[in-house]
Structure 1
Amino acid sequence: MKQKSFSTLSNVMNQELWHTLLPLLHEEVLDNKEMLIREGEIADKIVWIRAGVLRSYFLLEDGQERTYCITFDESMMTAMTSFISGKPSKENIQSIGTTELYVLYKADVDKLCENNIVWTIFFKQLLEEQFMELEEKLFDIQRLEAKERYLKLLQHYPQYIQRIPGIYLASFLNITPRHLSRIRKEAHL
């Protein structure tokens, strides 16, 4: 079951690596709006989303939430800066709907990397992918109009758009819910 869900990762792992990893994974299910990590906590785990959606957000001074990352099935997620540095997280990670996860704790990641250079390379590649995704989002915010950002998201993740509440999607796109509504109307004409 776990190996099937990790099909993307299994392409780069041999059986020996799988047998090392699988006992360390813990299954967890989050209910709708359940918190995985709260601001101020130290992120001591990285998760693989088996099914569902997680969003990462922070609070603005006026108390409004700003969603800056939405992560879907078959993807990794954590409060990366906190996970790497061991410092308190500046973000919150929350489920959107019921979300099934495989959890790997930081202490186990560190042991894996100490015992086999292949794990160090593997986690380095994961971090590089996370960095590139974040960089692409930053470029999109700077270079693309709101409608273009929405259409790009719709093109890459059409099956998820309807599952994300408009307020989170608007925040992620850095627009108001009203603007999102107008964009959706124009896009479906």
Structure 2
Amino acid sequence: MDLIKEIFLNRYGLSTANFDFLNSLMTEYTKRKGELLIRKEEVHHSVYFIKKGAVRSYYINEDGKDITHWFGFEGDIVASLGNFIGGKPSLENVELIEDTVLLKIDQSKLLELYSTNLEFANFGRRLAENALLEMEEQILLSQVLDAKTRYLSLIDKFPQILQRVKLGHIASYLGITQVTLSRIRSQR
């Protein structure tokens, strides 16, 4: 079974028939590493799912520093929540950190599915629940746990991250410097 289908069936609870229907509504795009999929201040009317590849969401703080706050890999949804929920301009940039294959669906089509089909409504709920869990985990990591524990938690969650993501982006996500990250890595 193809990986994206397996993820949609197992992680998001879609039936094979509804996955096939959703898949027929999506368009596949291949984008190059380094491209911005979503730009700060823009409004997007599409939602993306990562079929293959990796992305990161980041913002630039008032000191001009690039702060990574989310990584996305195969099966993850990519959308600006402000865009999706309130039609507001994006607060962040979403950059492709690998050559990436995306499945794109128009937001209005997805919302129509949510309102006309219980299984798709539950799919949307699961997407929202996953996003909330990610945010809660990120808050816990950044405000409660020490740097080494944050690093070990990230490696546990994404064992392949060191091979796929620049160390500078990982350090930024963890809220530490690259020097601190190197020191933590050498202790393992």
TM-score, normalising length: structure 1: 0.91
| Alpha-carbon distance in 2 for matches of 1:19, 1:163 | 29
Counterpart code for 2:6: S
1:5 aligns with 2:4: yes
Mapping of residues 119-134 of structure 1, within 5 Å: 119-134=120-135
Unaligned runs of 5+ in 2: none
Counterpart code for 2:34: K
| Alpha-carbon distance in 1 for matches of 2:73, 2:186 | 24
| Alpha-carbon distance in 2 for matches of 1:154, 1:4 | 21
| Alpha-carbon distance in 2 for matches of 1:96, 1:61 | 24
| Alpha-carbon distance in 2 for matches of 1:20, 1:126 | 18
What's the secondary structure of 1:158's corresponding residue? coil
- What do residues 56-98 of structure 1 show as CA deviations (whole Å, max 9, x unaligned)? 0011112211000011122222112221111101010001021
Deviation for aligned residue 1:159: 1.5
Mapping of residues 5-154 of structure 1, within 5 Å: 5-11=4-10, 12-154=13-155
Maintained 8 Å contact 2:171/2:178: yes
Which region of structure 1 is more displaced relative to structure 2, 167-176 or 19-28? Answer: 19-28
Give the match for residue 163 of structure 2: 162
What's the secondary structure of 2:53's corresponding residue? strand
Counterpart code for 1:10: L
| Alpha-carbon distance in 2 for matches of 1:45, 1:122 | 17
Percent pairwise identity: 33
| Alpha-carbon distance in 1 for matches of 2:23, 2:165 | 31
Unaligned runs of 5+ in 1: none
Counterpart code for 1:148: T
What's the secondary structure of 2:51's corresponding residue? strand
What's the secondary structure of 2:56's corresponding residue? strand
Which region of structure 1 is more displaced relative to structure 2, 71-80 or 132-141? Answer: 71-80
Runs of 4+ residues deviating >3 angstroms:
none
| Alpha-carbon distance in 2 for matches of 1:72, 1:140 | 19
| Alpha-carbon distance in 1 for matches of 2:20, 2:163 | 37
| Alpha-carbon distance in 2 for matches of 1:4, 1:53 | 14
| Alpha-carbon distance in 2 for matches of 1:106, 1:87 | 14
Deviation for aligned residue 1:19: 3.9
Mapping of residues 169-180 of structure 1, within 5 Å: 169-180=170-181
Counterpart code for 1:140: L
Alignment CA distance shift 1:18-1:158 (3 Å): closer
TM-score, normalising length: structure 2: 0.91
Aligned length: 186
Deviation for aligned residue 1:101: 1.1
